Amino acid sequence: MDGLAHGAWMDDDMVGALRAALDVGYDRAFAMPGSFYLSEDLLEIERAQLFGREWVCVGRADEIPEPGDYMTYDILGEPVVAVRGEDGAIRALSNVCRHRAMPILEGKGRARRMVCPYHAWTYDTQGQLIGAPQLQGRADFDKRACRLPEFRCEVWQGFVFVTLDPNTPPLAPRLAPLDAIVRNYHLEGMKTRYVTYEVWKTNWKSLIENFMEGYHLSPLHKETLHPINPTSLCRHFPDGDAHFGYFVGFAPDMARERKGHPDLSDEEIDTCVMFAVPPNLVVGGASDYSSFLCIEPLTTNRCRVRLGLFFHGDDWTEEQIERAIRLFHETMEEDKLVLDQLARGLGSRHYTPGPLAPAAYEGCVLDLHRYVARRLLGLLEGLRERA
Ligand SMILES: [Fe+2]
C-alpha cells in the first residue's frame, strides 16, 4: 500500500473529519467531505480492510432450502458459492474450477453435483472433486486430494455471511445486542420471495447512509413512504461493534394488515427496525415483510446491489406480493435519482460538510462514519505520516 502514501486524496479534511466522528456527540456531528466518497485510494483500502476482512452477506438461507441448492456471490471479484450440503449445512466454497479457473455455477439453482461447464470437472456439495474426465491415467494427480477451497460461513437471523479472512472473529457474538432488538420478528423464519440484482451509480457509503437515515423519508418519499413511515416517527438506537440502526414507526392512521410472529408486542408490530451490518448489508425489518440490500462496491461511484424482500407466513396473495415489490422499487427509484446526483455535488470545490440532523433522523450516518474510523483511522493516519 506504499504507493498510496503520496496521494493528494489524504487531505486533512477527510482524516480530520474521521477523527472528529469518533469523539463527537450526535448533536455536534457533521457530514463528511467529498473525498470520503470520491477517493479511489480510499476505496482500495476499504476493499482490502473492510470487504476483504469482514463478514459479507451473500443472501438468505431460505433461498437455498434443499441439499444441492446454491447461490453465487462475488466478494471483491472473488467468485463464491453458498451451497446446502447433503448434511443440511450451508458451506461457502470457491466457485472457481480447480482445473483451469472457470467459474462453475451461475446465479441460483439446484445441483446435487457441481459440474464445471468448461470440461465437466465435477464436485460434490462439500467441494470434493469427484470427476475429472480423461485424467484417470495420470499418476501424479489424485482427485481425492483435490477440493474447492472453503470459506468460513455463518448464518445469523436467516442471513448467510461469508468472510474471506480466516482470522476474523465470529459474527454472531458481536451482533448479540442487535439480536435482542430483532429477535421477536423472527426474520430467520421469513420466506424470501423476491430477489433481483442492480447496478447503482453511487458510492457504497452513500447508499448505506441513504438507506439508514429517516431524515429524507418524508421530504423525498413524499407519496411513497411518508404516508407509511414518516420522518417524525424515527428513533435511533445505540450502535455496536458490528451493527447500527434506527426504528421507524408505522403511521397510526394507515390501513395495514397486522401480520407478524405471535412473539411480537403491539409496539413491535407498529415499528420497523432499520439496521446495517457493515460493510455490505442493510435491512428494513418489519413484522409482515422485510427488505434487504447486499452491496458490493465496483468503483467509487458504482455498486452492484442484490435486493430482496422476505415475508412472514404463507398467506400472501400474488397481488399483495406484487404490491410490496412495486412499493419497494418505487422508493428505491426515488433514492437512486438522488444518489445519482450526489457524486456531482460531492465533487464540488465549494462544498463544505453541513451539520447532521439529530440522532433520531441521521444518527446512523455518524454511526457509519464511526465504523469506518474505528477500522481505518489508524492506518490512514500512519500512511499520512509517512507521506
Ligand atoms: Fe430513501
In the chain, where are the structural domains located?
Answer: 56-163, 175-368
Q: Which DSSP category does 128 fall into?
A: B
Angle subtended at Cα 301 by Cα 300 and Cα 306, rounded to the nearest 5 degrees = 105
Q: Does domain 175-368 have CATH number 1.10.357.10?
A: no
Percentage of residues in the chain with pLDDT exceeding 70? Answer: 97
pLDDT the model gives residue 186: 98
Residue for grid cell 465435477: 122
Average pLDDT over all residues of the chain: 94
> Are the beta carbons of 151 and 137 closer than 8 angstroms?
no
Q: What is the pTM of this model?
A: 0.95
152-181 pLDDT per residue, tens: 999 999 999 999 999 999 999 999 999 999
Read off the pLDDT band of 7 (50, 70, 90): very low
Centroid of ligand 1 to alpha carbon of 184 (angstroms): 25
Read off the pLDDT band of 9 (50, 70, 90): low
Strand, coil or helix: 311: strand
Centroid of ligand 1 to alpha carbon of 336 (angstroms): 8
- Name the grid cell of 258: 397486522
Centroid of ligand 1 to alpha carbon of 377 (angstroms): 29
Percentage of residues in the chain with pLDDT exceeding 90? Answer: 92
Please state the rounded mean pLDDT for residues 205-225: 97
Centroid of ligand 1 to alpha carbon of 94 (angstroms): 35
Query: Is the pLDDT confidence value at 1 over 50?
Result: no
Centroid of ligand 1 to alpha carbon of 292 (angstroms): 13
Q: Nearest CA to 284 among 271, 296, 297, 266?
A: 271
> Are the beta carbons of 118 and 100 closer than 8 angstroms?
yes
CATH number among 3.40.50.300, 1.20.1070.10, 2.102.10.10, 3.90.470.20, domain 56-163 = 2.102.10.10
Centroid of ligand 1 to alpha carbon of 61 (angstroms): 26
Query: Which residues, at least 6 apart from 127, have a Cβ–Cβ distance to it below 8 Å?
Result: 91, 93, 94, 147, 148, 149, 150
> Are the beta carbons of 161 and 153 closer than 8 angstroms?
yes
Q: What is the DSSP string of 329-353?
A: HHHHHHHHHHHHHHHHHHT-TT--P
Centroid of ligand 1 to alpha carbon of 214 (angstroms): 8
Q: Nearest CA to 181 among 202, 164, 157?
A: 157
Centroid of ligand 1 to alpha carbon of 177 (angstroms): 25
